[in-house]
Amino acid sequence: MAVKALQLIQNWLDNFRLRLAYTDALPQLALLGLVSGLAAAGVIVVFRLALDAPLNWILPHGQDDFESLPSVWHAGLPVIGGIVLAIFFHFLPARYRSLGVTHVLDRLNAHQGHMSSRNMWAQFVGGLICLASGQSVGREGPAVHMGAASASIIGRWSRLPNNSMRTLVACGVAAAIAASFNTPMAGVVFAMEVVLLEYTITGFLPVILASVSGAMLSQIFFGQEVAFKVPPLAMNSLWELPYIVFGGLVVALFASLFIQIIVRMVPLQKHPVAPRLLAAGCITGVAAYFVPQIMGIGYDTVNQVMNTQLGMQLLVVIVLTKLFITGIVFGLGIPGGSIGPTLFMGAMLGSLLGITANVLMPDYASDPAFYVLLGMVGMMAAVLNAPLAALLALLELSASHTIIFPGMLMVVTACFASRQIIPNTGLFQEILKAQGKSGRQGVAGQILSRAGIESVLERNFIVCGRRKYYDELRKLLEQQPAWLLVDELEGKKFLVRPADVAKYLEEAPIEELSLEREVDLLKIPAKRLELAPIHSRANLYEALSQLKQTGADALYVSRTGAPLLSSVYGIVTRHAITSYYQL
């Protein structure tokens, strides 16, 4: 009975995997979205709970209140954190040191979304050390990595086809963002806009389910409050619109500078990891001694500027210090996030713009908190090249539809101007370029990556030996196969077109078709395609890459453990792949 039940489960899993190879496997992808969303959010919840323990001990007045510590700890805590990080990563094998959002993008584009659990746990520990020691980074980068890796591990354990791994990774990212900010809509669009770089219905719905499940699990443990306390906001006058355009230009300037600082520092990541991380901790410690507001994720400072509790001079010092220190340490490879600092800097810039507006046009200017929120989303959009995600974050953080109109103007201005000041494609893509990696597959690659190879396999073929008698070939052709697969028993395999074999049998001289002579299928005049192997989980993009690398004309998929001559259960030709793309 137990054996029969296991066999039924195995058959169901096989059918489930086969269905996922097709681009319209929406029910299966939706189920995976729900499961991966819960798994990713579960890891993020554990990460936040693990972070709460040391922060509650170090900061009894509040988890972000590093400013309340004695000055010696403003300098000492980041240095201690840098020492611990240096020791930890020094003894960690180099292949497990690749972390963060750029690691997710690299694994998605170059490795079909397959991610290692060891990199994930390195990110978990490294992120905890960073945030507990007050480094000038955010928690969203580690969250994205851990969320994506959690979903990817589920796919690897389940041996799912690689075309579904892309959606799984996006589900993990969306759930991580939703669990971190309590902004499920922004999580969905961030995953599609920054990670997948595409929008499809079969991709959207699973990601939405994952984001909702992530936000739900986060709210169970941490409540329904969003990351920032935003008062009711609205724009006072249309006369503010030109000033908002000016604000977008200011934000674009700072966003471009921030990206360039990081990109210029990235080549230093080729140097040994221990000195780099120690230097990052020391740089942060020296700066934090004078400007402690840059320590940690800084959400307490953001809430202060929402209530206009900081003066202009202090705001200028904070935003410039945060800009340079975060850019330097993030470029050095510290295992933290850049999204939180981006929002922090945008809030400081927005507060400066709001205070200035109220001085210049007191009768028309909106509350400074209005500009704080505009600065946050403008900076996020310009740095990450994610205008839609920024707008949805604005909507969810403010809970006000009236702010969307000026927010759109800010986002468009900031994104457009930042591309004109220094042409770029967003922070993460620029980092990948600086690392010598490709961050995009192109349109053809994206289309081919959505389909698994099993969705286009040709199964109407007959496996045969190289030499066959006339009567044997006639019997094979009577079965009307699409191809004859010639297996030489030496590893090489070829496809022969049956029509060419039939033509040869009809037109060849009698003496060549003697019943006592064998026909050599590799010597007769016929179209032959050389075959190369590929695994059954591959997508069509991998299949096309395999054809280019091997120089073969077609690919075959084998079952492991099957008899030699019957191991091949599917073939795919170059024509079948290109025809799929053209459709």
Residues 290 and 426 placed together within one structural domain of the fold: yes
Considering the domain architecture, whether residues 316 and 423 belong to the same structural domain is answered as yes
Same domain for 555 and 511, yes or no, is yes
Coil, helix or strand at residue 576: helix
Of 193, 222, 251, which marks where a domain is finished?
222
Torsions phi, psi for 529 (to 5 deg): -115, 125
Is residue 66 located within the same domain as residue 201? Answer: yes
pLDDT reported for residue 179: 86
Reported as a pLDDT band with limits 50, 70 and 90, residue 510 is low
The CATH number assigned to the domain holding 569 equals 3.10.580.10
Please report, rounded to a whole number, the percentage of residues in the chain having pLDDT higher than 70: 93
Classify residue 13: in a domain, yes or no: no
Phi and psi at 99, nearest 5°, equal -140, 170
- Is 385 within 8 Å of 194 (Cβ atoms)? yes
On whether both 272 and 363 belong to a single domain, the answer is yes
Lowest mean pLDDT among 110-124, 368-382, 562-576: 562-576
Q: Is the pLDDT at 512 greater than 80, yes or no?
A: no
Residue bearing the bigger pLDDT, 350 or 444 = 350
Q: How confident is the model at residue 285, as a pLDDT?
A: 94
What CA–CA distance (Å, rounded) separates 340 from 580?
A: 41
Position 449 confidence tier, pLDDT thresholds 50, 70, 90: confident
Of 174, 197, 222, which residue is a domain's last?
222
Q: pTM of the predicted model, to two decimals?
A: 0.88
Phi, psi values for residue 568, rounded to 5°: -75, 125
Which of the given ranges, 54-68, 191-205, 249-263, has the highest pLDDT on average? 249-263
Name the maximum alpha-carbon separation found in the chain: 105
CA proximity to 341, closest of 374, 384, 283, 286: 384
Q: How many CA within 13 A on the CB side of residue 106?
A: 17
Rounded CA separation 11/27 (Å): 18
Residue 302 lies in a domain: yes
pLDDT band of 128, cuts 50, 70, 90:
very high
Q: Give yes or no: residues 42 and 136 share one domain.
A: yes
Q: Which domain holds residue 356?
A: 238-440
Q: Does 428 lie in the same domain as 349? A: yes
Q: CA 302: distance to chain centroid?
A: 27
Q: Which residue has the higher pLDDT, 9 or 211?
A: 211
Q: Is residue 3, in this structure, part of any structural domain at all?
A: no
pLDDT for the residue numbered 562: 47
Q: pLDDT higher for 233 or 241?
A: 241
In this structure, is residue 228 part of a structural domain?
A: no
The answer to whether residue 160 sits within a structural domain is yes
Last residue of a domain, one of 222, 246, 263: 222
- Beta partners for 484? 462, 496
Model pLDDT, residue 441? 65
Tell me what pLDDT residue 504 has. 83
* H/E run at residue 532: strand 528-533
Residue 64 to residue 55: CA distance in whole angstroms: 8
Q: Is position 418 within any domain?
A: yes
Tell me if 9 is assigned to some domain.
no
CA-to-CA distance for 341 and 324, rounded, in angstroms?
Answer: 11
**Is the same domain home to 432 and 458?**
no
Identify which has the larger pLDDT, 60 or 49.
49
Question: 40-54, 100-114, 329-343, 387-401 — which is least confidently predicted?
Answer: 387-401
Torsion of the alpha carbons at 376, 380, 381 and 383, rounded to the nearest 10 = 130
| Chain center to CA of 551 | 31
The CATH number covering residue 106 comes to 1.10.3080.10
Residues 485 and 383 in one domain: no
Query: CA–CA separation, 557 vs 573, rounded Å?
Result: 12
Q: What is the pLDDT of residue 431?
A: 92
439/424 Cα distance (integer angstroms): 13
- Given a cut of 80, whether residue 197 has pLDDT beyond it is no
Residue 563, pLDDT > 60, answer no
User: Three-state SS for 92?
Assistant: coil
Q: Which tokens is 136 given?
A: 């000038």
pLDDT of residue 154: 92
Instruction: Choose between 114 and 515: higher pLDDT.
Output: 114
Q: Which residues is 528 bridged to in the sheet?
A: 496
Least confident interval from 58-67, 294-303, 519-528: 58-67
Taking CA atoms, 269 is separated from 135, 280, 332, 341, 460, in Å, by 18, 12, 6, 20, 52
More confident residue, 421 or 355: 355
- Which pair of tokens denotes residue 294? 């840059």
Number of structural domains (the chain) is: 3
Together in a domain, 312 and 425? yes
> d(Cα 175, Cα 155) in Å, to the nearest integer?
16
Q: Do 27 and 176 belong together in one domain?
A: yes
485: which strand partners? 463, 495
Q: Which pLDDT band holds residue 226 (cuts at 50, 70, 90)?
A: low
What pLDDT digit, counting tens, does each position of 392-439 carry? 887 887 777 778 888 899 999 999 998 888 888 889 989 998 888 865
- Say yes or no: 188 and 268 in one domain: no
Tell me whether residue 12 is in a domain: no
Q: Alpha-carbon distance 66 to 187, whole Å?
A: 28
pLDDT for 250? 93
